[in-house]
Amino acid sequence: MITFFSEQHALHAPEFEFFRGERVPCFESPARAVFVRQQLLARGHTLREPDADSRPVLAQVHTPRYLAFLERAWSDWMALDPANCARQPFPSVWPVRTLRSDVEPLNFTARLGLYSMDNGSPLCAGTWAAAKAGADAAVSAVGLLGAGERGVFCATRPPGHHAGADFMGGYCFLNNAAVAAQALRQQGCDRVAVLDVDYHHGNGTQSLFYDRSDVLFVSLHGDPRTEYPFYLGHADETGAGAGEGFNLNLPLPAGSPACAWFDALEVACARMARHGADALVVSLGLDTFAGDPISTFALKADDYSRLGQRLAKLAVPTVFVLEGGYAAAELGVNAVNVIEGFEQD
């Protein structure tokens, strides 16, 4: 399968995140992409550098002030103190209920909190460049579907599905899956489906399309009552206004076995078939893997081939966008199993 891959991903390499009050190495690491690249090449897939500029589509997905903040965040951080080059910025204050988010503060940390849903998404000097390359990959992949390609894989990091119109979170900065969906709409697809199979609910993607009927959002994920992102992803979230009925959440209890996951996948596929989409975007998180260090589902390597085969049966041109998956050494095998399962069918 043609795969978009940029070495720019490696520019996003924060040193640590917080876990139970301690600094721990980031789960979302450059090594993840290295393993994916290695497995793609070993199994004969073609890697291409993204060649589209996602900026026009990004402007339709994210707000101007969020994009401006993200692009300049590192230089603003450095401007506060040259010693910040060796420090990671983290938010420490957020505009929760009753506080105002319409006025952008001048203070850097206050702006970082305004544009963040958690303190778990560390920024570094190359975050914007890496994230932008991922969004460029999503738009490039859509161009290939327009040219008749049946499936294209974006082997991108950092991931995107937790990022909303004006916030980062969950290791995500720019919502690559939403960028792909929006680019497909612009390219003339009247109906698009986004299937999110990451262990964590794709709150950003859901929120971006919640009031729209042209982009169906379907997600299989750990029950947010116990799993990140906690504040979205419940079964009663079915869409709003014109989008009523075009959002389907299929939360599963933490620790669910693979058979329950595949049962939910059937429900998801039935809903997508009914939508009659012209194109499909798959938010391909692989943190449903039994060996994932931060998740509790139990899929094995072969289950990813089965997932790819099942998605091929939808018979719709498909863009796969890499999301989570933190068992780095197994990530390449699992990702390539999905895309080869898809091609096999």
Active site residues: 162
Residues with Cβ within 8 Å of residue 104, at least 6 apart in sequence: 65, 69, 111, 114
Distance, CA of 61 to CA of 203 (rounded, Å): 14
Closest approach of Cβ 27 to Zn ion, in Å?
9
Closest approach of Cβ 146 to ligand SP5, in Å?
27
- Residue 338 touches which of ligand SP5, Zn ion, none (CB < 5 to 8 A by kind)? none
Closest C-alpha among 122, 87, 159, 131 to residue 14: 122
Return the range that interacts with Zn ion (CB under 5 A); candidates 57-65, 131-139, 236-244, 324-332. Answer: 324-332
Closest approach of Cβ 324 to ligand SP5, in Å?
2
**Number of residues forming the site for ligand SP5 (CB under 6 A):** 14
Question: How many other CB atoms are there within 10 angstroms of residue 228's CB atom?
Answer: 21
| Binding flags for ligand SP5, 86-105, as an x/- string (CB under 6 A) | --------------------
Please, which of residues 136-165 interact with ligand SP5 by CB under 6 A? 159, 162
User: Which position's Cβ is nearest ligand SP5?
Assistant: 324
Question: How many other CB atoms are there within 10 angstroms of residue 241's CB atom?
Answer: 9
Question: How many other CB atoms are there within 10 angstroms of residue 20's CB atom?
Answer: 5
Contact predicate 223/297, CB 8 Å: no
- Residue 340 touches which of Zn ion, ligand SP5, none (CB < 5 to 8 A by kind)? none
- Cβ closest to Zn ion, residue 52 vs residue 307: 307
- Cβ closest to ligand SP5, residue 14 vs residue 170: 170
- Cβ closest to Zn ion, residue 111 vs residue 200: 200
Q: In a 3-state reduction of DSSP, which class is residue 283? A: strand
Closest approach of Cβ 285 to Zn ion, in Å?
4
Backbone torsion region of residue 272, taken as left when φ is above 0, otherwise alpha when ψ lies between -120 and 50, otherwise beta: alpha
Q: In a 3-state reduction of DSSP, which class is residue 70? A: helix
- Exactly one of 113, 160, 243, 285 binds Zn ion (CB under 5 A); that residue is 285
Closest approach of Cβ 162 to ligand SP5, in Å?
6
Task: Please give the structure tokens belonging to residue 46.
Answer: 């073609």
One DSSP character per residue, 115-165 reads: TBS-S-----TTHHHHHHHHHHHHHHHHHHHHTT-SEEEE--SS--TT-BT
| Beta partners for residue 320, in sequence order | 153, 282
| Binding flags for ligand SP5, 185-224, as an x/- string (CB under 6 A) | -------------x-x------------------------
Distance, CA of 61 to CA of 55 (rounded, Å): 10
Contact predicate 136/54, CB 8 Å: yes
Return the range that interacts with ligand SP5 (CB under 6 A); candidates 36-44, 166-174, 309-317, 329-337. Answer: 166-174
Contact predicate 210/239, CB 8 Å: yes
341 binds ligand SP5 (CB under 6 A): no
332 binds Zn ion (CB under 5 A): no
- Exactly one of 227, 287, 292, 303 binds Zn ion (CB under 5 A); that residue is 287
| Binding flags for ligand SP5, 277-306, as an x/- string (CB under 6 A) | --------x-x------x------------
Return the range that interacts with Zn ion (CB under 5 A); candidates 93-101, 214-222, 306-314, 318-326. Answer: 318-326
Alpha-helix residue ranges (DSSP H) falling in 25-63: 30-42, 55-61
- Cβ closest to Zn ion, residue 140 vs residue 256: 256
Q: What are the residues binding ligand SP5 (CB under 6 A)?
A: 120, 159, 162, 170-172, 198, 200, 228, 285, 287, 294, 323-324
Q: What are the residues binding Zn ion (CB under 5 A)?
A: 198-200, 285, 287, 324
